[in-house]
Structure 1
Amino acid sequence: MSRHMISFPIEGQRFNYRVAAIFMVDNHVLVCDEDDDGFSMLPGGRVELGEPSKLSLQREIVEEIGLAATVGDIALTSESFYRRMGYDMHELGLFYHARFDGGDGPDGKSPWRVTHEEDNEHRFHWVDLAGDGLEALNLQPVWLRAVLRNMPVALTHIVHDERAAR
């Protein structure tokens, strides 16, 4: 059976359904740079049609990082509206707590891990939440810096719209 990512264009717009992992260890968060996109993000990817979101995230972690991980409870949901790659984007995001089964975490190396999937290079970095490392990154979505530093204890829904700023 063929795989279908839930991401599609409609008249100059694009819808994305994305899942992401929040790996936090010793006040550090794991972020990913892909190729030369110019931005950083939490590890994860697009959900496939017919695939539960938690299973999608487990698949993405193995494909991109190459390590086994346990995906925990959902922490955040988001609706983000922004412009990228010539499209007005509408992205639905689900963000889950996660941990590596082997106890992996910050080790002082940056990048911590470099992997290749298809034609993409992924560089993973542990960023100290107490320092200014997040400010040095073009971390997307833009609201994520503040939320990571002050993680809500209950499931939180975030709506962020950059369209009015243009």
Structure 2
Amino acid sequence: MNKSKNDIDCSFKEDGKWFRYRAAAIIIEDGCVLFAKNELDDYYYSIGGGVHLGETTEDAVKREVLEETGVEYEIDRLAFIHENFFNGTGTLDGLKCHEVAFYYIMKPRGTQKLNSNSYVQGVREHMHWLPIDKLHQYIAYPTFFREKLLNIKDGVEHIVTHF
């Protein structure tokens, strides 16, 4: 899916700060959760991306999942709202970052088979199924997945992290 000129992410940079409104997926199959990793960074990150102006987080997460995995997933439910404050690296190097993300649990499909051919800013992304009970062995963001995915609670949990 190609981004058109009308698809503007809800994000901005100003005075050494960066903000993004993000929708992300929690895709679990056979005790593993799906993460992405690109060819430049040394860490794994959750599936998802910026919400476009005028787009709901539900529509954004379904669009992002399809773009990154090549597969249409259905939403089960909203599980986490994450306010994340961190110091930027890579393309955000030197910026104080603030991200608000809605994490949706997606309905399992019964298979880890994907049809991914994803690129972000010209860099190839690869999909990785990481065992939930071994997430502490990986540099994977968000880090709250290590604890929270072992025992997902009913309802929506609000999480704030400062790095």
TM-score (structure 2 length as normaliser): 0.85
1:114 deviates by 4.8
Q: Answer yes or no: is 1:96 the counterpart of 2:104.
A: yes
1:39 deviates by 1.6
- Between the aligned partners of 1:53 and 1:142, the Cα distance in structure 2 is 21
Equivalent residue number for residue 111 of structure 2: 105
One-letter code of the match for 2:136? E
Q: Answer yes or no: is 1:117 the counterpart of 2:119.
A: yes
Deviation per CA, 1:42-68, whole angstroms, max 9, x where unpaired?
A: 211110011011101111111111111
One-letter code of the match for 1:143? F
- What secondary structure is seen at the aligned counterpart in 2 of 1:59? helix
1:135 deviates by 2.5
Equivalent residue number for residue 11 of structure 2: 7
- Give ranges in structure 2 of 5+ residues lacking alignment: none
Structure 1 residues 59 and 114: CA distance shift in structure 2, 3 A: closer
Q: How many residues in Structure 1 have an aligned counterpart in Structure 2?
A: 154
Equivalent residue number for residue 160 of structure 1: 161
Equivalent residue runs for 1:73-152 within 5 Å? 73-84=77-88, 85-99=93-107, 103-106=109-112, 114-117=116-119, 119-130=122-133, 132=134, 134-152=135-153
- What secondary structure is seen at the aligned counterpart in 1 of 2:71? coil
1:105 deviates by 2.7
Q: Answer yes or no: is 1:59 the counterpart of 2:63.
A: yes
- What secondary structure is seen at the aligned counterpart in 2 of 1:74? strand
RMSD: 1.9
Identity of aligned residues (%): 27
Equivalent residue runs for 1:21-32 within 5 Å? 21-32=25-36
TM-score (structure 1 length as normaliser): 0.84
Structure 1 residues 53 and 152: CA distance shift in structure 2, 3 A: same
Structure 1 residues 146 and 113: CA distance shift in structure 2, 3 A: farther
- Between the aligned partners of 2:29 and 2:148, the Cα distance in structure 1 is 16
Q: Is the 8 A contact 1:113 1:123 kept in 2?
A: no
**4+ residue runs over 4 A deviation:** none
Q: 1:43 aligns with which of 47, 69, 80?
A: 47
One-letter code of the match for 1:25? E
- Give ranges in structure 1 of 5+ residues lacking alignment: none
